[in-house]
Amino acid sequence: MTSSHGRGLHLAAAVDQRSAYDADSYVELARLAESGGLDFVTLDDTFARPGPDALAVLSRVAPATGRIGLVPTVTVTHTEPFHVQAAVATLDWVSRGRAGWRIDVSTTEGEARLFGRRHAAPADALWQEAGEVAEVAAELWDSWEDDAEIRDTATGRFVDRDKLHHVDFAGSEFSVKGPSIVPRPPQGHPVRVVDATEGQARRTAARYADVALVRAASSAQAGAVRAELRASAEKFGRDPDTLRVLVSLVVDLGDGEHAAEPGHGGGGPRQTAHGPLYRGGPVDLAELIAAWWHGDRTVDGFHLTPVEPRRDLERLVNGTVALLQHRGLFRTFYPGSTLREHLGLARPANRYAVTGGAS
Amino acid sequence: MTVRPRKQIHLAAHFPGVNSTTVWADPRSKSQIAFSSFEHLARTAERGLFDFFFLAEGLRLREHKGRIHDLDVVGRPESLTVLNALAAVTERIGLAATVNATFNEPYELARRLATLDHLSGGRAAWNVVTSSDAFTGENFRRGGYLDRADRYTRAAEFVAVARELWDSWTPDGLSRPFAHKGQHFDVAGEFTVPRSPQGHPVVIQAGDSGEGREFAARSADVIFTRHGTLEDGRAFYADVKARLAKYGRSADDLKIMPGVTVVLGDTAAEAQERAAEIRRQQVSPQNAILAVEQIWGTDLSSYDPDGPFPDFDPEPDPSLTQGRTRRGDSVATAEKWRALSRQKGLSIRQTVIEASGRQSFIGTPEAVAAELETFVRQDAADGFILVPHLTPGGLDEFVDRVVPLLQERGAFRTEYRGATLRSHLGLAEPGGKG
């Protein structure tokens, strides 16, 4: 496969917990992940099940952490694109450049009834709309040029309004005038993450995602989806090297150091209703990561969802990650300070800037 | 005979706004967007034992003559996200977000507010504002669809639905389905967040109109009002408090807190001098012309701010300035300003400085403390929302010099007694549906 090697291994972990609404437990998990040098943590969100607002939780976590990326799910079907982009940009401001946004849709009629504005729609149409939200968000993030604030006392002007832009976006379901109310965030564009496992989401991921997540049970399957995503990204006019593809696995790190479940195909993941599940010891997991990333070169990294958040994240960091670090396969400290820097992604140029100097 | 305990003052801090109150040309003025500015102000307010820290909201940048207004501070982060982050660096102070009831939906907002209440340990507040202008609506799915008259009916129904949602979980953690069908909302399902520490986040209402007062009397815990004279304040206070009984509420259930500015000095004369200097900074030559253009409804950029007013009458054009509501009779205002200019021999800029936006409390710390207490003791207010003119240091002097004097007078707390914003404000826990 292509050049995943040389760009570094990327690791992320979910900090989802059942029935947790307090700040402390999330802070503790995020700090644990940060102590392992992980690129980012994710926190899922849906209107369909109990749970707090994920972007709020990771905003609360931001001042209590220093380097790790913070990627909440924010759904785009029943929410306002203008508010969503402002909230994500604000997470980037309060975390000083560590925000991401996992884009998701709400497909059920139950979720639609909570809002009473529209009926449930097919996933295809919703992912098409999600692409429009991703597009308008980027336009709104660019609607302030980086140097728009001038504080020019001679002319009495706080901003140079030639550097603020109406976006005049007209999509199939909504339109937005702009500009944003929030100045361009530290990363320019906070990192957009899409789970590209399902076919309907894959086009949107190829076109807009900085990080695509793929729930794959084998290295070959992951590699095939990655190749498809990269080819598709190229068709959308993107450099495929600006897309990171991470394999999403649910991990159950059990009790032992080398406790790979018998009949598990050498400790590899197996497909379950909740996605591919890896069950084994932290060392085996390190072997798997090394084999897929370093050996097969079919992935850019892994996004791991612990079955038991505290236990498994602790084992992941102190076992799996420590071993990968020891073998020189994963960073031992954060050389950069923003999530884009962790991922090796450049800060995007501003589409509205006349001169090329805005990136 | 019982002695009535000394009436306690409630204090809140407003993050400097995106209007000409906020002075940006001062060298001490720092970022209005960096988290460190929010942290400094919120922690200063908490050091001063304030009841809450307050963020305003913007949903569309203001425009003038079809172009984005460029003379004042502009741009701000999204309120609830900032407040969740501030919950990490503060412990007791309430955290109030202004969020528009027109361009949001009850389910999502109730959930975001309940989440803030959980993450902050019971310190969340929501300042309910409404909007009907199509200009702002251009940024939203709904567009500008709402009749002016429906703004408050939607807001009232919005608050009622939010409270149904907050009550939908039992205190022992069981979720119960909700269903609401009304004029503005037809929603049903289950809420995703258990009952939060305050039960209901505190509801603030900003606005002085008759509809606004009635809405506050029925639905709000705090009313954020304009500051005027002691007599005006007493009349407003009496009017609003008298409306509470018909909703089965008592006078203590709704706190009246005008937004005020404070300028301090070691002597009264020095304070006056500083106030005048701040006014000059707030009304730059360009801002003076802008203010006059807003009244006259036409391009006056060729006029000299240090010269006389136009000699023709205004032709109001409401589309000239967008994103900011300005009501009243512009012809009358123009006449008043020209009269003031003639009478005192003032230029355009001097007149605008003289005629608009005076500071509320100007004086030595002792004088300001005494005057603040007078407003509260004489029932013109239950407290104040301070609007500093500088980011982020605009509250430092008040907290260092005035708060101790209020404490000495026995009119302000010397420590936080409770952990929740409701406890700071002396508001009862809402009952819930049991």
Do B370 and B333 share a structural domain? Answer: no
State the average pLDDT over residues A148-160: 95
State the pLDDT at residue B398.
Answer: 98
Nearest alpha carbon to residue A127 among A213, A202, A51? A202
* A265–chain B nearest CA distance, Å: 39
End-of-domain residue from the set B355, B375, B400: B355
Q: Which residue in chain B is spatially nearest to A47 when comparing CA positions?
A: B192
pLDDT of A320 higher than 80: yes
**Alpha carbons A252 and A81: distance in angstroms, whole number:** 36
Do B165 and B152 share a structural domain? Answer: yes
Q: Of B75, B139, B190, which is closest to A177 when you measure between CB atoms? A: B139
Do B348 and B364 share a structural domain? Answer: no
State the pLDDT at residue B178.
Answer: 97
Chain B interface disruption, residue of A93, A136, A184, most B CBs within 10 A:
A93
Q: Sketch out chain A's domains with CATH numbers.
A: 13-107+181-263+280-346 (3.20.20.30)
pLDDT class of B132 with cuts at 50, 70, 90: confident
Chain A residues with CB inside 8 Å of B193's CB?
A: 21, 50-53
Chain B residues with CB inside 8 Å of A52's CB?
A: 115, 118-119, 192-193
Q: Is residue B73 part of a domain?
A: yes
Q: Which residue in chain A is spatially nearest to B105 when comparing CA positions?
A: A115
Full DSSP string of A96-125:
TS-BEEEEE----HHHHHHHTSS----HHH
Q: Which domain holds residue B294?
A: 284-355
A34-47: pLDDT as tens digits? 999 999 999 999 99
Do B387 and B412 share a structural domain? Answer: yes
| Between B240 and B228, residue with greater pLDDT | B240
Residues with Cβ within 8 Å of B352's Cβ and at least 6 positions away in sequence, in order, are B283, B287, B288, B291, B292, B337
Do B20 and B57 share a structural domain? Answer: yes
Tell me the residue type at A305: T
Helix, strand and coil content of chain A, in percent to the nearest 5, comes to 40, 20, 45
State the pLDDT at residue A43.
Answer: 98
State the pLDDT at residue A5.
Answer: 40
Q: Of A49, A51, A56, which is closest to B80 when you measure between CB atoms? A: A56
Q: Which residue in chain A is spatially nearest to B115 when comparing CA positions?
A: A52
**Alpha carbons B303 and B284: distance in angstroms, whole number:** 14
Nearest alpha carbon to residue A298 among A12, A8, A5, A14? A5
Q: B402: which DSSP letter?
A: I
Query: In chain A, which among 166-185 make CB contacts under 8 A with chain B?
Result: 173-179, 181-183
Do B363 and B347 share a structural domain? Answer: no
Q: Is residue B391 part of a domain?
A: yes
State the average pLDDT over residues A325-343: 97
pLDDT class of A267 with cuts at 50, 70, 90: low
Give the predicted TM-score (pTM) of the model.
Answer: 0.95
A65-91: pLDDT as tens digits? 999 999 999 999 999 999 999 999 999
Q: Is residue B274 part of a domain?
A: no
Q: Is residue B430 part of a domain?
A: no
Using an 8 Å Cβ cutoff, are B93 and B122 in contact?
no
Do B376 and B294 share a structural domain? Answer: no
Do B151 and B218 share a structural domain? Answer: yes
* Pair type for strands B10-14 and B52-55: parallel
Query: In chain B, which among 145-204 make CB contacts under 8 A with chain A?
Result: 175, 185-190, 192-194
| Between A263 and A117, residue with greater pLDDT | A117
Chain A residues with CB inside 8 Å of B81's CB?
A: 55-56, 59, 87, 90-91, 94
pLDDT of B200 higher than 90: yes
Do B294 and B192 share a structural domain? Answer: no
pLDDT of B185 higher than 60: yes
**Alpha carbons A285 and A280: distance in angstroms, whole number:** 7
Q: Is residue B299 part of a domain?
A: yes
Nearest alpha carbon to residue B220 among B251, B257, B253? B253
Longest Cα separation, chain B: 71
CA B56, B58, B59, B62 dihedral sign is positive
Structural domain tally of chain B? 2
Q: Which residue in chain B is spatially nearest to A111 when comparing CA positions?
A: B189
Please tell me the least confidently modeled range out of A189-198, B310-319, B341-350, B413-422.
Answer: B310-319
End-of-domain residue from the set B307, B337, B355: B355
pLDDT class of B65 with cuts at 50, 70, 90: confident
Chain B residues with CB inside 8 Å of A111's CB?
A: 189
Nearest alpha carbon to residue B348 among B333, B338, B363, B361? B338
A206-215: pLDDT as tens digits? 999 999 999 9
B146-182: pLDDT as tens digits? 777 788 899 999 999 999 999 999 988 899 999 999 9
Residue B141 touches partner A, C-beta closer than 8 Å = yes
pLDDT of B34 higher than 70: yes
Write down the mean pLDDT value for chain B: 92
Do B163 and B123 share a structural domain? Answer: yes
**Contact: B103, A151; criterion CB under 8 Å:** no
Q: Is residue B240 part of a domain?
A: yes
**Contact: A22, B119; criterion CB under 8 Å:** yes
Using an 8 Å Cβ cutoff, are B222 and B205 in contact?
yes
State the pLDDT at residue B434.
Answer: 45
End-of-domain residue from the set B307, B330, B355: B355
State the average pLDDT over residues B307-323: 79
pLDDT class of B332 with cuts at 50, 70, 90: confident
Do B110 and B96 share a structural domain? Answer: yes
pLDDT of A241 higher than 80: yes
Nearest alpha carbon to residue B292 among B279, B306, B309? B309
CB pairs under 8 A between A and B: 180
Tokens 């300028």 -> residue: B263
Q: What is the CATH number of the domain that holds B68?
A: 3.20.20.30
State the average pLDDT over residues A38-62: 97
Do B366 and B351 share a structural domain? Answer: no
**Percentage of residues in chain B having pLDDT higher than 90:** 78
State the average pLDDT over residues B37-42: 98
| Between B6 and B159, residue with greater pLDDT | B159
Q: Which residue in chain A is spatially nearest to B177 when comparing CA positions?
A: A114
**Alpha carbons A92 and A102: distance in angstroms, whole number:** 14
* B86–chain A nearest CA distance, Å: 7
Q: How far is CA B149 from CA B92, B103, B155, B212, B324, in A?
A: 38, 16, 11, 11, 18
Write the ipTM: 0.95
pLDDT of A196 higher than 60: yes
Q: Is residue B370 part of a domain?
A: yes
Q: B78: which DSSP letter?
A: -
